[in-house]
Amino acid sequence: MIFNIVILILCFDAVFSIRNNIRLRKSIKLIEQDVKEINSFKNSLYKSANSSLNIAVRINRVFNDATKTVENTKKIENECQKIYEQLKKDI
């Protein structure tokens, strides 16, 4: 009789262990899926950040080019002014 009760208890324990293992497996699969989604989102953020950085670099280059153009224009304007002043003196 005690032997049957022990076997019955062991059977119930085995059934509950199997159920818990199934729940754990489902939980692990859900966690793995969440990790994949997080990694995908992280990769999207990296791509977005890289795109933003590339745009910022391009804007900076254009700004630097525009600054150089303004500086060169001022130099040319000064040279033209000198030539104009020289021509005024010569006339």
pLDDT score of 9: 80
The owner of tokens 């391009």 is 58
pLDDT band at 2 (very low <50, low <70, confident <90, very high): confident
pLDDT at 6 over 90: no
pLDDT (tens digit per residue) in 11-62: 877 777 888 888 888 899 999 999 999 999 999 999 999 999 999 999 999 9
- The model's pLDDT over 48-65, given as tens digits with 9 standing for 90+, comes to 999 999 999 999 999 999
pLDDT score recorded for residue 90: 80
What does the alpha-carbon distance between residue 63 and residue 79 come to, in Å, rounded to a whole number?
Answer: 24
Q: How far apart are CA 48 and CA 68, in angstroms?
A: 30
pLDDT of residue 3 exceeding 80:
no
Closest CA to 39 of 27, 31, 50, 28: 31
Q: Residue 10: what pLDDT? A: 76
* pTM, to two decimals: 0.54
